[in-house]
Amino acid sequence: MKVTMVLVSSLNGKITRDDDTNINLWTTREDAKFFSSLRDKHKLIIMGRKTYTSIHDKIKLQPDKLRIVLTKTPAKYSNHAKSGMLEFTNEHPTKLLKRLEPKGYKNCLLVGGGEVARLFLQSSLIDDIYLTIEPKIFGKGKSMFAEDNFHAQLKLISVKKLNRQGTLLLKYKFQK
């Protein structure tokens, strides 16, 4: 399964600003437009529970799109779950992707946040990453990959300037 990760960060690598959980307060409409187009191309979307909590009131469930939320306590979210559209699991990502592949899912969009991104990175499961850099610097905020001991080599595939302010959309490929 091909895993594409998408995220937007400040120039200094923060995916949240201070203690805000709403990223729309500092990201641009150009980034939102790109995110929506990528989301619309994917039938499988994976996210961490904290990301889910921060966006769940904006999610529009669709019968042809499966969203999976990683949580250590899936039972706690049984009243949110909608079979085939929104599922909660504590499976390891490797096992999860292996289970979903035979169901016809060839591509997956990983939408964060940092903890789940770290888990996928440490398991060498990410193929591509789309990173939007907003020309802002935040003193406090979460890192795009939660801190730990790891490193990865990537290759830059493309760079696009999205607006006059200088919001950049970068595409990288992970070298495995």
* Residue 44 or 119 having the CB closest to ligand NAP: 119
* Residue 66 or 119 having the CB closest to ligand NAP: 119
Residue 79 CA to residue 76 CA, distance in Å, equals: 8
Residue 117 CA to residue 48 CA, distance in Å, equals: 8
* 146 binds ligand NAP, rule: CB under 6 A: yes
* Residue 42 or 49 having the CB closest to ligand NAP: 49
Are 109 and 47 spatial neighbours (Cβ–Cβ below 8 Å)? Answer: no
* 4 binds ligand NAP, rule: CB under 6 A: no
Tokens 């969203």: give the residue.
67
Site residues for ligand NAP, window 49-78 (CB under 6 A)?
49-51, 54, 70-73
Least CB distance to ligand NAP at residue 122 (A): 10
* 122 binds ligand NAP, rule: CB under 6 A: no
DSSP tag of 79: T
Identity of residue 157: I
What is the total count of residues that contact ligand NAP (CB under 6 A)?
A: 26
Are 135 and 30 spatial neighbours (Cβ–Cβ below 8 Å)? Answer: no
